[in-house]
A and B are shown apart, each in its own frame.
Chain A
């Protein structure tokens, strides 16, 4: 699946990296604890989170995360979007809750990371 498919499934909008819709995604993880993400996540994953701070992007950068999804319509500040653009990490925003967003992706064949 690709990032643009995720946009469609989650009724999401791009906040960063609109040109990276062709990025491939193989799995997903949903977490507000970056420590857990750093300990358990594998490659080419989508990271869904309700946490909006700079370290979310830093964590994604270290892990080569394919795409960040902010749930519940959360709008990150400009410095977060800037950092994601700098490192070529797409950011999506969806109105769904973390639980629902993960459920939709799982129901559409995306496994856990």
Chain B
């Protein structure tokens, strides 16, 4: 994944995401949204960022062994990088398909697992990149022009 020149960003924040924890799920995205609102990001862009961030966060909780989300803000863009520690995605093209989900029924009764998350992230971000290796982990980078 392309390396970011981090020192060009005036704000940097890191959030740890715990696998399987449905009580804290969404806290990172909530903090990100509150912070960006305070920085004056307009409400429709803020909504795009919050949706994409929350979908990514929920995926870490449901599908991964845990990971982190990193927020980078410059005067004209917001970047959210999501990195988890596994298990990775075998077929990214398939995973990106609307309606494809490996979420078990226990997740579906909680209101998730419709297989719309990754495409929803791509639709809400101005730039969306995903890389994954089975047995290693998944890395997503989303950019938003503000």
Contacts of B120 in A (CB 8 A): 38-39
Nearest-Cβ distance from residue B115 to partner chain A, whole angstroms = 8
Contacts of A107 in B (CB 8 A): none
Query: Interface of chain B, helix or strand or loop or mixed?
Result: helix
Q: Which of A36, A43, A54, A61 contacts B116 (CB 8 A)?
A: A36
Chain B contacts with A in 25-63, Cβ cutoff 8 A: 25-26, 29-30, 33, 43-44, 47, 50-51, 53-55, 58
Given contacts A39-B120, A64-B43, contact A58 B25 (CB under 8 A): yes
Q: Tell me if B4 counts as interface (CB < 8 A to partner A).
A: no
Nearest-Cβ distance from residue B103 to partner chain A, whole angstroms = 9
Q: Are A58 and B30 interface neighbours, CB within 8 A?
A: yes
Q: Tell me if B117 counts as interface (CB < 8 A to partner A).
A: yes
Nearest-Cβ distance from residue B128 to partner chain A, whole angstroms = 15
B12-20, B73-81, B85-93, B106-114 - the one binding chain A: B106-114
Q: Are B29 and A62 interface neighbours, CB within 8 A?
A: yes
Q: Are A55 and B47 interface neighbours, CB within 8 A?
A: no
Query: Interface of chain A, helix or strand or loop or mixed?
Result: helix
Q: Which of A35, A43, A62, A64 contacts B111 (CB 8 A)?
A: A35
Residue of B with least CB distance to A86: B30
* Contact count band on B: 20 to 34
Given contacts A55-B22, A62-B47, A62-B50, contact A39 B111 (CB under 8 A): no
- Alpha-carbon gap, A108 to B110, bound state (A): 30
- Alpha-carbon gap, A75 to B58, bound state (A): 24
Q: Are A35 and B113 interface neighbours, CB within 8 A?
A: yes
Q: Are A35 and B116 interface neighbours, CB within 8 A?
A: yes
Q: Tell me if A59 counts as interface (CB < 8 A to partner B).
A: yes
Chain A contacts with B in 53-81, Cβ cutoff 8 A: 53-56, 58-59, 61-64, 79
Q: Are A58 and B47 interface neighbours, CB within 8 A?
A: no
Q: Tell me if B1 counts as interface (CB < 8 A to partner A).
A: no
State the B residues within 8 Å of A (CB).
Answer: 22-23, 25-26, 29-30, 33, 43-44, 47, 50-51, 53-55, 58, 108, 110-117, 119-120
**What are some 13 contacts across the A-B interface (CB < 8 A)?**
A34-B112, A38-B54, A39-B119, A53-B111, A55-B25, A55-B111, A56-B111, A59-B54, A62-B47, A62-B51, A62-B54, A63-B50, A79-B23
